[in-house]
A and B are shown apart, each in its own frame.
Chain A
Amino acid sequence: MNFPENLRYTKDHEWISLEGNVATIGITDFAQRELGDIVYVDINTVGKALNAEEVFGTVEAVKTVSDLFLPVAGTITEVNSALNDAPEAVNTDPYGAGWMVKVTVNNPADVEQLLDAAAYSALVA
């Protein structure tokens, strides 16, 4: 499984990348494999300010459904609308075309507190 070094991770299996105070967030390769074929990404929180670990959406696989948790506090500014027609991108390219939301984070330093690639891969090993 693939866990890029440049990302940070949560124990809830989200990844986050940060540029300035804008974060891009999705679910990890481990998460997409566990869920199986993803058929719908349901996110209705654009414009909302949420705390860390609050639910920002839901991902539906054929067999199961799972909540999406925000890794750090911030405001959801954009959702990946391409997933409406191609939710399978979360399976095929979880760190690229399968990204889910962009977030203006309250405190960029929060991201540094999350798991790095080594710690996350140890968690799911």
Chain B
Amino acid sequence: MKATPFTGKHIALGAKMAEFAGYNMPISYSGINDEHAAVRNNAGVFDVSHMGEFVLKGEGALDLIQRVTSNDASKLTNGKAQYSCLPNEQGGIVDDLLVYCIEENKVYMLVVNASNIEKDWNWIQKHNTGNVEMHNISDKTCLLAIQGPNATKILQPLTEIDVLNMKYYTFAKGVFAGVENVLVSATGYTGAGGVEIYFEDKDGAADKIWDAIFEAGKAAGIKPIGLGARDTLRLEKGFCLYGNDIDDTTSPLEAGLGWITKFSKDFTARTIIEQQKNNGVERKLVGFEMIDRGIPRHDYKIKDADGNEIGKVTSGTQSPSLQKAIGLGYVATAFAAFDSEIYVEVRDKLLKAKVVKIPFL
């Protein structure tokens, strides 16, 4: 199992650890509900250094990104980031990712899921016909997400970058807690506000930054947060999790990711996906909440009132903020409208649920 530069800290803090994407990662510290509430109401720190980062450089970098991703990266100017996905030849999704424009037309950083680093690297390499310079900086790059309504207030004294007023999906590089060349990005996977910070772990930078954040947040009660609460937080906001809600077999349009699929440019499987847009898709990813008592889980069957299978649950939990059971799942398009009555098969019982709008919160 691989470690991040913070693994020792997690263990010392008494975190429940588990393997995730080959890394020894913290699942929870004080408990998922407690950590979840800390991020929704205050501030929490996630070590997500397992994520992958690629830097693409050179005149052809933008052209390569345009060809392999679904969103329109030509809209990005320096200091702006964009959510996107890598479609495969069949119109499925190789991965979802963030594209950071470091220097327009010349330097971009792609941030990909930990479990897909190798797959994505090979996929992009395969399409790199213009000899764009590619660097996989995943192993040396630390990523901390500091999320929650009080996160930027806590961090502001640590940096000259104006984190308090940083606009969503923008970023800046600067000195942070005395460490140079830290990329601070107003992004995250919680919908709770806050930033993500990327930096290289050299000369003790990881320890220095972690300790400075917890010192700065001590009075406010900042907490370390595990991957368990990361999952409940993202699910309440309806953010897709690769491998659960989206994968090689789901199209961006089925997944509700039409907003990051731009037909103003050419990209992998554009024809297939454009056809889906014109003709409609047969299934859609929807949010639902349980009416009968029970908790939906990944891969549970979704049925209609007569017991016919109409889809599958892709994510589900008891929402800590809403105190009710919620889920995401693919259903036949006829059942995708809000308030549609659907049934989730939980241990051979059909439990009633209804389609609701996402985000749940």
Residue positions of A touching B, CB distance < 8 A = 36-37, 39-40, 42, 58, 60, 62-63, 65, 91
Contact = CB atoms under 8 A, between A and B. Distances in A.
Given A60-B295, A62-B232, A40 B318 contact: yes
Given A58-B347, A65-B295, A36 B31 contact: yes
Nearest to A34: B16
A102 to B, nearest CB: 22
A62 B294 contact: no
B294 A63 contact: no
A81 to B, nearest CB: 13
Contacts of A39: 295, 318
Interface string B166-198: 000000000000000000000000000000000
A37 B27 CA distance: 12
Contact of B297 (A36, A42, A65, A91): A65
B320 interface: yes
A39 B295 CA distance: 9
B31 A60 contact: no
B293 interface: yes
Nearest to A62: B32
Interface string B269-308: 0000000000000000000000001110100000000000
Main secondary structure of the interface of B (DSSP, over half): mixed
Contacts of A65: 295, 297
Nearest to B323: A39
Interface in B139-175: none
A62 B297 contact: no
Given A40-B295, A65-B297, A60 B318 contact: yes
B228 A36 contact: yes
Nearest first, the 9 A-B pairs at minimum CB distance are: A39-B318, A37-B33, A62-B32, A60-B295, A63-B228, A37-B32, A37-B31, A36-B32, A62-B318
A112 B295 CA distance: 36
Contacts of A91: 31
A62 B33 contact: yes
Contacts of A37: 31-33, 320
B295 to A, nearest CB: 5
Contacts of B27: 63
Nearest to B349: A44
Interface string B13-32: 00010000000000110011
Contacts of A40: 293-295, 318
B246 to A, nearest CB: 20
A57 to B, nearest CB: 10
Contacts of B120: none
A63 B347 contact: no
Given A36-B228, A40-B318, A58-B347, A63 B295 contact: no
Nearest to A39: B318
Contacts of B200: none
Contacts of B297: 65
Contacts of B347: 42, 58
